[in-house]
Amino acid sequence: MKNWESMEAFIEVVRQGSFSAAAIKLDVSASHISRLISQLEADLGTTLLFRTTRRIRLSEAGELYYQHCRDLPEALSSAEEMISTLNQAPIGAFKMTCATTFGERYIAPLMNDFLLDHPKIDLDFHLTNRAVDLIEEGFDLAIRMGSMKDSSHLSRRLCDRVEYLCASRHYIDQYGMPHTLTELTKHRCLIGSKNHWLFQQNGQRKEVKVSSQWRSNSGPALLDAVRKGLGIAQLPDYYVNEDIANGKLIALLPQYQYPYSGVWLVYPKARQPSPKLQAICDYLIQRFQKNSTFA
């Protein structure tokens, strides 16, 4: 602000009742205070103070100016204190997003536990399978699956995730077992929000584009379709581990299974992560490392 120093000097002169007392309060010379007030009056084009050898008196313009400005130094100081506190402790609004099922099953319970110890954080948690724009939509953190391709954001690995190509016993009995990737074109493929499946062939990552007459952006709906024998699908481990273990689903083409893809904590680039972002990321990573049953 152009006249901030002059305005601060003016306010202090009025409060202290003299130039010399204001100079002592602001730790400057009385002549410097006088120059600041004169410059302020010149910039505003009006007289703010009537000066005598014994006292000062506010003009009508000076009274109006003082009434509007007197609280600004304290407001600035309060704002600076709040920012300082914000930069030291995890407090304030925090907006994050995650894929629906993974968020419901794993992230929401952990965040609820986190908030018990950090009640000054106001959480806005969006569960969606849509890839949100962190900057445009004002998100502090996104939890995303798969390989990281967007270098415009920073990321930390939360955990590994394995994807299984699977089908029900009923489907295999009816349509047979695929033995190669090319044979998938002869099968009924069920797809989620992405139209490609991830594999490894000859040590290299390979994405296979899939076409289907059945598609849904809901993981539970896709899992239900696979269980009922409607076709083959590729689903993350946290959906199918139990069904594969108890024989309800059969893992297909294990020789082509990609070793793992990641689950990532993704956030916009900043000079320094805020304490709440740092605390939340550290907490989630720590909890996933301690509990192998998550994903």
User: What does the pLDDT look like over 169-184, one tens digit per residue?
Assistant: 999 999 999 999 999 9
- The answer to whether 295 and 106 have CB atoms below 8 angstroms apart is yes
Question: Of the candidates 286, 287, 263, 270, which has an alpha carbon nearest to the alpha carbon of residue 140?
Answer: 270
Question: Of the candidates 283, 273, 285, which has an alpha carbon nearest to the alpha carbon of residue 118?
Answer: 283
Q: Domain spans of the chain?
A: 4-84, 87-159+261-290, 163-256
Distance of alpha carbon 33 from alpha carbon 49, whole angstroms: 13
| 8-state DSSP, 291 | -
Q: Are strands 190-191 and 121-127 parallel, antiparallel or unpaired?
A: unpaired
For domain 87-159+261-290, the CATH class is alpha beta
Whether 87-159+261-290 and 163-256 share one fold: the answer is yes
For residue 1, the model assigns a pLDDT of 53
Span 4-84: which CATH code?
1.10.10.10
pLDDT at 286 over 90: yes
pLDDT (tens digit, 9 = 90+) per residue, 71-122?
777 777 666 656 655 556 778 899 999 999 899 999 999 999 999 999 999 9
For residue 76, the model assigns a pLDDT of 72
Angle between helices 30-44 and 4-16 (to 10 degrees): 120
Look at residue 217 and give its three-state secondary structure: coil
pLDDT (tens digit, 9 = 90+) per residue, 172-217?
999 999 999 999 999 999 998 888 898 999 889 898 998 888 999 8
For residue 8, the model assigns a pLDDT of 87
pLDDT confidence bin for 148, thresholds 50/70/90: low
pTM for the whole thing?
0.63
Q: Are strands 214-215 and 190-191 parallel, antiparallel or unpaired?
A: parallel
pLDDT confidence bin for 239, thresholds 50/70/90: very high
Domain spanning 163-256: CATH 3.40.190.10: yes
